[in-house]
Amino acid sequence: MKRTAQSIRDAYLNFFTQRGHVVVPSAPLVPENDATTLFISSGMQPLLQYFLGTPHPLGTRVVNSQKCLRSQDIEEVGDNRHTTFFEMLGNWSFGDYFKTEQIEWVFTFLTKDLKLDPSRLFVTVFAGSDELGIDRDETAIKEWQKQFKQVGIAATVAVDPSKTGMGEHRIGVYLWKNWWSRVGEPSTMPAQEPGGPDSEVFYDFGPERKLHEQSQFKDLPCHLNCDCGRYMEICNSVFMQYLKQDDGSFVELPKKNVDFGGGLERILAAVDDEPDVFRSLIFAPIIAQLEELSGTTYDASDKHRKAFRVIADHTRAAVMLLADGVRPSNKDQGYVARRLIRRAVRFAHQLGIERAFLAEASQSVIELYETQYPEVRQHQSEIEATLTQEESRFRRTLDKGELQLSKLLSEKSKGAHSGITAEDAFYLYESFGFPVELTQEMVAESFPDDKVVGSAQFMEQFQQLRKQHALSSRSASAGQFKGGLQHASEQTTRFHTATHLLHASLRKTLGTHVQQKGSHITDQRLRFDYTQPEAPDDATIQTILDQINQWVADDLPVVREEMSKETALSQGALAFFVEKYPDQVSVYTIGRDPKNDWISKELCGGPHVEHTGEIGKLVVEKEQSIGAGIRRIYLRFVE
């Protein structure tokens, strides 16, 4: 009988709470006050400050299941293992236990609690670098060998598995594939940056399935990092062990940390001994729904399987984004949400689903996650309305694309040939979101003898145009990133404290009905979304700004305290995203007010300035409506 995601999640959290860990809630998918990334894409991302020295209020051992989304994987979805949204099971040690305990616990959890066959488990370790003076991770090797020996397995080491294959070996040694830092390989790490080796666990789906022999890699040695599908990485332990020095050398950290991440969907696939993650109970309800809507089956063809996978993944990801407050748009997180929805509709078209279906399909996702993430049920009506509206708009877009293609065909076709080029297909795709697959289908229907549009060369040209466009887009993004948080921590810290003052001034001037609905900070400005039914006039906005600048001029103290969430709320601290905070919280209090005793008191992870005078004078850049009852205000520093 197949396991449910909830049973795996509960087993993992229980396993580590029995070993002294405290469960922390999942952070929202959109990182708070972090302009360097669109989404939370790993379990450790919301905890980064605790790896860099800030004590965690709940102690040195924590565990959770974190919602994650990797938008860069959108184009990869369609195979049997890639998803955009996923859950990352994670446990962390902040200067507490290290390799011996972690490896023993991982092996015990996988083989005893989840009852995975240990003969199906393989691991990787760091190869070491003579150039950097970092030894091979012998501690990890010996600990893995000890664990395997206890179940009667000799875990020998494959020194260069990418060239020789795994053979009879159990442990694969790799170089930079088994090194972790925030910025990648040691050569790219700045001085005083922590990093260290990691050790992955792979599940072997077995030689009998002939996954390697049937793959494009069949002529190469099969090893743990081969993409043939035989071996699937299910979890990884990062051992933050070293600190890079100014001269480029590495020394051991006095306090070493552990960061474990295990993809819930992949662990479930291993438990089911099923290489296709979309056959798990996570996706079964929505796949069944799609089969009913389309009148076809998941296994009808490879093309059908891909379409089912894309629709199921993108629907789930869109629901989770909408539940966390993201709305479809043409920028940032909103663009990703819109792209997910449109790709789902596009592939539904391939399956013959011609009516609106996303709101209906979202029910399966909501029912699956409402226990772990109650916000999906709480925002159900908004999710359904947004999906319906966005799907309706895109279906009209599809209609426009078809009309444009018809015009092109009437202008360019000659005899048996359509005259449609890859440039035409890219124009339709970029301008109208019209899928190249639909272009090919329509051409094939009208011009069955046209062999150009359906050719591999046509698709190569189309993909090349897309790559060129993507490269130019990434270049622009990289330039934007350079000016962001990474190189401007002082600026963003000042803006972060200014956000609290802005919130306080809005509530003081407009009323306590004002609630924060979102914020975004770069080194150039802060953006703050808040509840307000009517637009404040210019005089009111000036009053709000004058109050903020007065508090800045007063050079008020900013005090951080640790207390229970219950105590903080009873003292009047504001927390409009209560579900994301643990039971023990950080509270920042700003200044003193004759009537209220303080200007601002909010639950917050920081960082903040120590006195408001460090912020500097601010000016309102603009203020606008972004939806019914929600307004947005931008502030920047006076130049």
- Per-residue pLDDT at 76 exceeds 50: yes
- Domain termination residue (choose one: 378, 412, 446): 412
More confident residue, 490 or 121: 121
List beta partners, residue 417: 414
Report pLDDT digits (tens) over 341-358. Answer: 988 998 998 899 989 999
H-type helices in 483-520, by residue range?
Answer: 489-510
- Per-residue pLDDT at 147 exceeds 90: yes
More confident residue, 586 or 495: 495
In a shared domain, residues 426 and 405: no
Question: Residue type for 439, please?
Answer: T
Give the Cα-Cα-Cα angle 405, 407, 412 (nearest 5 degrees). Answer: 90
pLDDT for res 483: 27
In a shared domain, residues 350 and 307: yes
Q: Domain count of the chain?
A: 4
More confident residue, 482 or 173: 173
- Least confident stretch, 5-9, 53-57, 118-122, 140-144: 53-57
- Per-residue pLDDT at 472 exceeds 60: no
In a shared domain, residues 389 and 525: no
Report pLDDT digits (tens) over 236-251. Answer: 999 999 999 999 999 9
Burial class (CB in 10 A: 0-12, 13-18, 19+), 253: middle
- Per-residue pLDDT at 555 exceeds 90: no
From the CA atom positions of the chain, what is the Rg in Å?
27
Taking residues 70-95, what's their average pLDDT?
A: 93
Q: Residue 496 and residue 161: Cα distance in Å, rounded?
A: 48
Query: Residue 497's domain spans which residues?
Result: 488-637
Report pLDDT digits (tens) over 500-511. Answer: 999 999 999 999
- Per-residue pLDDT at 620 exceeds 80: yes
Q: What is the largest CA-CA distance in the chain?
A: 86
Burial class (CB in 10 A: 0-12, 13-18, 19+), 622: exposed
- Per-residue pLDDT at 450 exceeds 90: no
Q: Residue 618 and residue 551: Cα distance in Å, rounded?
A: 11
Which residues are within 8 A (CB) of 390 and not within 5 positions of it... i.e. 6 or more apart?
328, 338, 341, 342, 358
CA-to-CA separations, 465 to 135, 338, 471, in angstroms, rounded: 45, 22, 10
- Per-residue pLDDT at 470 exceeds 80: no
Taking residues 630-634, what's their average pLDDT?
A: 91
Is residue 100 within 8 Å of residue 143, measured between CB atoms?
A: yes
- Per-residue pLDDT at 361 exceeds 70: yes
In a shared domain, residues 134 and 13: yes
- Per-residue pLDDT at 547 exceeds 80: yes
* Mean pLDDT of the chain, nearest integer: 88
pLDDT tier at 126, thresholds 50, 70, 90: very high
pLDDT tier at 489, thresholds 50, 70, 90: low
Helices 538-553 + 489-510 axis angle, to 10? 130
In a shared domain, residues 65 and 194: yes
pLDDT for res 443: 83
Backbone angles phi, psi at 271, to 5 degrees: -60, -40
- Out of 435-444, 463-472, 629-638, give the one with best mean pLDDT: 629-638
pLDDT for res 488: 38
Q: Residue 213 and residue 218: Cα distance in Å, rounded?
A: 5
Taking residues 103-124, what's their average pLDDT?
A: 98
In a shared domain, residues 256 and 110: yes
Q: Which CATH number do you get for residue 71?
A: 3.30.930.10
In a shared domain, residues 272 and 289: no
pLDDT for res 594: 45
Q: Residue 624 and residue 631: Cα distance in Å, rounded?
A: 6
- Per-residue pLDDT at 471 exceeds 70: no
pLDDT tier at 477, thresholds 50, 70, 90: very low
Backbone angles phi, psi at 237, to 5 degrees: -110, 120
List beta partners, residue 631: 530, 625
In a shared domain, residues 299 and 328: yes
- Domain termination residue (choose one: 278, 305, 325): 278
- Per-residue pLDDT at 392 exceeds 60: yes
Q: Residue 405 and residue 408: Cα distance in Å, rounded?
A: 5
In a shared domain, residues 402 and 474: no
List beta partners, residue 66: 88
pLDDT for res 521: 85
More confident residue, 398 or 144: 144
Question: Residue type for 155, please?
Answer: A
In a shared domain, residues 472 and 546: no
- Per-residue pLDDT at 474 exceeds 50: no
Q: Residue 412 and residue 222: Cα distance in Å, rounded?
A: 49
Q: What token pair was written down for 82?
A: 């890639």
In a shared domain, residues 350 and 403: yes
Q: Which CATH number do you get for residue 575?
A: 3.30.980.10
In a shared domain, residues 273 and 388: no
> Is omega for the bond preceding 607 within 30 degrees of 0, making it cis?
yes
- Domain termination residue (choose one: 259, 278, 297): 278
